[in-house]
C-alpha cells in the first residue's frame, strides 16, 4: 500500500512510501528507482522533502524518523526518540528543522542535518495527529485526540497557547495563507478559528450536524471551506466567522475539499461516488462529476487550475475539465485503490504521479491538444521494479535493439525512432559514393585519354545533400 507520493521541489524526483518499511526515490524522466530507502521496521506513514530538495525525512510506525541523502540514498540520521508510532513529519520553511508528531503525545523538533533532537514539545495528553509549520516558519500548530490544539514557538519550543473548546478529536488543522490565524475541525461537529497572536478562539462555527473531516483556506485567506459526515459543505467568511453558505447535494460523507489555484472554485470528494465543482462567488454547484463506481479518495487541481484529477476506490484515475465539467479521460491501468495524486509542470509539459494500494507508483504525461486530452504512461514501478505496460514510446530516440525488444515484451506501445537504421542508411550511401569514385579512378589510371573521369548524370551518384558526412 502506498500512503503518499510527492514530487521533489526541483521536480526531477518522486518519493513514495507505504507498507513494508520502505520509501523509494524515482527518476522522473526514466522511472528508474534511484534509491530504495530501507531501514524502517514498519510501515512508512509519511515522507517530506527539504525545501532545497537535497534530503528527505520519513516517519514510521516503528517509532523513528529518518533523514536520507537524496543524491546517494544514504541514511544521514536515525532519530529514535518517539516511544510510539510517528504519524506526521514536516520540514520547516527554512529547511533547518523537522517536526514530528506521534501517538506518544509529543512533538519532537530535530536538526535537519544531524537528526539530533533539539526540543521535545510536551503538553498533549493523547496522540498528536499532525504538526504543521506556519508560513513564516516561526510557529508550529499541533492537533490531538485530546480535543485540543497547541501553538508552539519554533525557536524556544515553548507552548505559546493551549487552544481548548473542542469536545472531541481534532481531525484537521490549517494555517491561513498569511499565518495570522489557524482553523481547526473536529469530530464534535464544530469548526473553530483561532488567533495566532493571542490563542483566543475568534469564532466557533456551528452548522455541521456530524463530524467534520477536512478544512481548506481559500488562496486569498478570505474564506474557509469544510467537509463533513453530514454530507454538506460549509463555506465560511473568515473575517467575521459567519456562515456564507451551506452547500448541499452530496449523498454521503465529504472526505476531501480542495481550492483551485485561482480561488474561484473548489472541489469536493465524497463517498457517494461523485466529485462536485462549486463556484465560490455564486455559491452553487456548477458540475456534478459522475461516472465513478466507488467513492473518491483524492482530488487535486493542476497548477494552471484547468484540470482536476480524481483517484477512486474503483481503481480509475479521471481527469476533468473544470470549465465544462466533462471527463477528459479515464485511465483503467490500475490494479488497486488510488491513494495519492500529485501534479508537476515543467518546461517539457504537464505530468502526474499516482500511488496505489498495491505498492505501485506511476508517472503520466498529460497532453492537451485543443479539445483533446491524452494521458501517456511514462513508467510504472512496483516494489522497486520497473514495468512498462501501456508505456508510450512512440518516437523515443536512442534505444538499442535489445532495449526495444525488452520494452515491447513488457507491454510498451508505439514505435521508437530507429536512429541506428537511419545512420546505417547514411553509411551505406557513403559506401556507394566511395565505391563509384574508386571505380572511376581505376578507369582513369588504366586509360588516361578516356573521359570517364568527367562527371555526368549517368555516373554521378545521387547523394542526399542533407547528409552530414
pLDDT in 10s for each residue of the chain, 469 residues: 777 788 899 888 999 998 889 899 998 888 888 999 998 999 999 999 999 999 999 999 999 999 999 988 999 998 889 999 999 999 999 999 999 999 999 999 999 988 899 999 999 999 998 899 999 999 999 999 999 999 999 999 999 999 999 999 998 899 999 999 999 999 999 999 999 999 999 999 999 999 998 899 999 999 999 999 999 999 999 988 888 889 999 999 998 899 999 999 999 999 999 999 999 888 899 999 988 889 888 899 999 999 999 999 999 999 999 999 999 999 886 888 888 888 999 888 899 999 888 878 888 999 987 777 888 888 887 755 555 555 666 666 656 676 667 676 666 777 776 654 444 444 444 545 445 445 554 554 455 444 444 433 333 334 333 333 2
The Cα-based distances of 145 to 3, 188, 320 in angstroms read 21, 12, 36
User: Per CATH, the architecture of 2-357 is what?
Assistant: 7 Propeller (2.130)
The strand pair at 201-206 and 2-7 is best described as unpaired
Q: What is the pTM of this model?
A: 0.67
Q: Give residue 200's pLDDT.
A: 94
In angstroms, rounded to a whole number, what is the distance separating the alpha carbons of residues 359 and 4?
A: 10
In this structure, are residues 84 and 101 in contact, taking their beta carbons and an 8 Å threshold?
no
Q: Give residue 447's pLDDT.
A: 52
Q: Give residue 384's pLDDT.
A: 52
In this structure, are residues 144 and 124 in contact, taking their beta carbons and an 8 Å threshold?
yes
Q: Give residue 422's pLDDT.
A: 46
Q: Give residue 241's pLDDT.
A: 86
Q: Give residue 453's pLDDT.
A: 41
Q: Give domain limits for the chain.
A: 2-357, 428-469
Amino acid at each position: 500500500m502506498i500512503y503518499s507520493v510527492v514530487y521533489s521541489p526541483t521536480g526531477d524526483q518522486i518519493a513514495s512510501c507505504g507498507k513494508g518499511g520502505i520509501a523509494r526515490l524515482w527518476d522522473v524522466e526514466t522511472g528508474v528507482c534511484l534509491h530504495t530507502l530501507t531501514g524502517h521496521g514498519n510501515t512508512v506513514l509519511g515522507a517530506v522533502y527539504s525545501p532545497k530538495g537535497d534530503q528527505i525525512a520519513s516517519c514510521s510506525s516503528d517509532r523513528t524518523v529518518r533523514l536520507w541523502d537524496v543524491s546517494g540514498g544514504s541514511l544521514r540520521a536515525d532519530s529514535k526518540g518517539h516511544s510510539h508510532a510517528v504519524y506526521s513529519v514536516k520540514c520547516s520553511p527554512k529547511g533547518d528543522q523537522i517536526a514530528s508528531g506521534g501517538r506518544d503525545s509529543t512533538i519532537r523538533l530535530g536538526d535537519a542535518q544531524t537528526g539530533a533532537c533539539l526540543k521535545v514539545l510536551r503538553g498533549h495528553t493523547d496522540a498528536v495527529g499532525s504538526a504543521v509549520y506556519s508560513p513564516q516558519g516561526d510557529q508550529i500548530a499541533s492537533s490531538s485526540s485530546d480535543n485540543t490544539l497547541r501553538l508552539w514557538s519554533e525557536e524556544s519550543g515553548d507552548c505559546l497557547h493551549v487552544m481548548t473548546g473542542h469536545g472531541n478529536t481534532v481531525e484537521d488543522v490549517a494555517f491561513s495563507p498569511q499565518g495570522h490565524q489557524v482553523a481547526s475541525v473536529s469530530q464534535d461537529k464544530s469548526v473553530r478559528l483561532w488567533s495566532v497572536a493571542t490563542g483566543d478562539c475568534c469564532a466557533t462555527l456551528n452548522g455541521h450536524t456530524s463530524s467534520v473531516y477536512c478544512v481548506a483556506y481559500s488562496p486569498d485567506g478570505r474564506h474557509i471551506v469544510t467537509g463533513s459526515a453530514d454530507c454538506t459543505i460549509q463555506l465560511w467568511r473568515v473575517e467575521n466567522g459567519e456562515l456564507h453558505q451551506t452547500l448541499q447535494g452530496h449523498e454521503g460523507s465529504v472526505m476531501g475539499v480542495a481550492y483551485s489555484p485561482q480561488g474561484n472554485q473548489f472541489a469536493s470528494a465524497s463517498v457517494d461516488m461523485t466529485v462536485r465543482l462549486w463556484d465560490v462567488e455564486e455559491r452553487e454547484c456548477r458540475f456534478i462529476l459522475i461516472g465513478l463506481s466507488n467513492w473518491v479518495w483524492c482530488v487535486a487541481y493542476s497548477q494552471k487550475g484547468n484540470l482536476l484529477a480524481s483517484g477512486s476506490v474503483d481503481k480509475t484515475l479521471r481527469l476533468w475539465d473544470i470549465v465544462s465539467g466533462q471527463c477528459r479521460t479515464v485511465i483503467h491501468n490500475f490494479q488497486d485503490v488510488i491513494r495519492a495524486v500529485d501534479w508537476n509542470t515543467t518546461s517539457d509539459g504537464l505530468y502526474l504521479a499516482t500511488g496505489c494500494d498495491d505498492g505501485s507508483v506511476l508517472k503520466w504525461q498529460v497532453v492537451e491538444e485543443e479539445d483533446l486530452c491524452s494521458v501517456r504512461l511514462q513508467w510504472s514501478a512496483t516494489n522497486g521494479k520497473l514495468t512498462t505496460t501501456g508505456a508510450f514510446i512512440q518516437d523515443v530516440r536512442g534505444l538499442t535493439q535489445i532495449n526495444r525488444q525488452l520494452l515491447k515484451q513488457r507491454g510498451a506501445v508505439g514505435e521508437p525512432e530507429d536512429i541506428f537504421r537511419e545512420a546505417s542508411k547514411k553509411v551505406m550511401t557513403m559506401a556507394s559514393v566511395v565505391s563509384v569514385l574508386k571505380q572511376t579512378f581505376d578507369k582513369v589510371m588504366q586509360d588516361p585519354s578516356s573521359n570517364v573521369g568527367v562527371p555526368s548524370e549517368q555516373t554521378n551518384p545521387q547523394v542526399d545533400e542533407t547528409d552530414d558526412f
